[in-house]
Structure 1
């Protein structure tokens, strides 16, 4: 049971985010943390303390990573950190996608990644910031909402898009 749950967890991590380097999915996954627990009956794995996940070009960090799997095999992943981060090379491009937030949630059933709390996603030179960023890994649609009224952007979202070179599509 433990190895099946761990394999499902690692497959879930490998699919996050879907626009990233596909070759990473076939590479070994290394998780290091200060501690970890597994509740086989509930299907919950918790990694705590300086959690680092590496698979190919994917690198994710969190203070705590919790992974749950239901009877149908659907997974949820929750990373909490100051901030929780991920970075991965984009497929067939020389650039990376990077994200961070106080909390990063992924739900396999809805293909949703939600970054909450000082959320930021950088893709190449383009940057999106806000209180909450929701990304659908299947449809590649972003939704961004504002953050704290007391924050540097006074509750507004910010998007910085770089001009495309004439050779880009």
Structure 2
């Protein structure tokens, strides 16, 4: 394994790798032009193992691509024999921010761990996962997003994990459309995401 100098800035034109960074905000219609922008990774250390096809970025890792920005303590990138890549970001927490497409709004998110597999185009957020904008919020201990099918799954625990306690259940709140003074619906605005928050359970006061 070879180690590169600390605090090195790596300019990467890897559109496949960029799918990970972009997909973190994709559920809220991220800035589409970011897909074609150059990816830059800033880290204190980078080690790469060519035999294992693995690269590890560590120490104040910052990934940028257009309006998108991700921060984490560590990102591991692995490539399989067919050239597909899997990305695992960990931190306390992993954070990201990206502009929404065609609107003056931003998406912010966080989780203790984020994984993206470009083979199946699926993003998974683990442990205290949140996606939020000025329009609403998605929250749960586990959020999965299939980009190809545009399908969300939000649960209180990841698949295979023990059933969540009542305190970590997922709750959905749908924000109604606002009406003007004349009682008619206000002009259309970007569709807000569903707000999902832990249900405190029966017998408790929110």
- TM-score per shorter chain, which class? 0.7 to 0.9
Contact 1:74–1:109 (Cα < 8 Å) also in 2 = yes
Q: Distance in 2 between matches of 1:126 and 1:12?
A: 24
Q: In the alignment, does 2:98 pair up with 1:88?
A: yes
Partners of 2:21 and 2:93 in 1: CA distance? 20
List per-residue Cα deviations over 1:51-70 (Å, max 9, x = no partner).
Answer: 11011110011110011111
1:25-44 equivalent positions in 2, closer than 5 A? 25-44=35-54
Task: Give structure 2 stretches of 5+ with no counterpart.
Answer: 1-9, 158-163, 178-185, 192-206
Runs of 4+ in 1 over 4 A off after TM superposition: none
The Cα of 1:111 is off from its aligned counterpart by 1.2
Residue deviations 1:7-66, cap 9 Å, x none?
A: 366433454244321211222222111111111121111101111101111001111001
Unaligned 5+ segments in structure 1 are none
How many pairs does the alignment contain? Answer: 163
Is the deviation greater in 5-14 or in 155-164?
5-14
- Asked which structure has the greater CA Rg, the reply is 2
CA RMSD, 1 decimal: 2.4
TM-score normalised by the chain length of structure 2: 0.70
For the structure 1 residues 97 and 107, does the alpha-carbon distance in structure 2 shift closer, same or farther, using more than 3 Å as the test?
same
